[in-house]
Amino acid sequence: MRLELIRLTLGPLPNNVYLLGDHASGDAVVVDPSFEGQVVLDRAAALGWTPRAIWLTHGHFDHLAGAGEIAGAFNPALPVGLHPGDRAWYAQEGGAGQFGMTIPPLPEVALTFEDGMALGLRADAQTVAEVRHAPGHSAGHVMFYVESLNTLLCGDVIFRQGIGRTDLAGGDQSTLLESIRTQVFSLPDETRLLPGHGPETTVGFEKAHNPFLK
* pLDDT tens profile 72-96: 999 999 999 999 999 999 999 899 9
Residues sharing a CB contact under 8 Å with residue 124, sequence separation 6 or more, in sequence order: none
* CB distance 56 to 80 below 8 Å: yes
- Give pairs for 38-42: CB < 8 Å, separation 24+: 38/69, 39/8, 39/10, 40/8, 40/10, 40/66, 40/70, 41/70, 41/73
Q: What is the pLDDT of residue 214?
A: 82
- The answer to whether the beta carbons of residues 179 and 135 sit under 8 Å apart is yes
pTM > 0.75: yes or no: yes
CATH code for the domain of 163? 3.60.15.10
Q: How far apart are CA 207 and CA 23, in angstroms?
A: 33
For the chain, how many helices (H) and strands (E)?
Answer: 5, 14
State which residues form the domain around 186.
3-213
| Count of structural domains, the chain | 1
Cα separations (Å) of 95 from 58, 59, 61, 64?
Answer: 12, 8, 6, 11
Q: State in Å, rounded, how far the first CA of the chain is from the last one.
A: 39
Whether the predicted pLDDT of 135 surpasses 90: yes
Q: How confident is the model at residue 123 (pLDDT cuts 50, 70, 90)?
A: confident
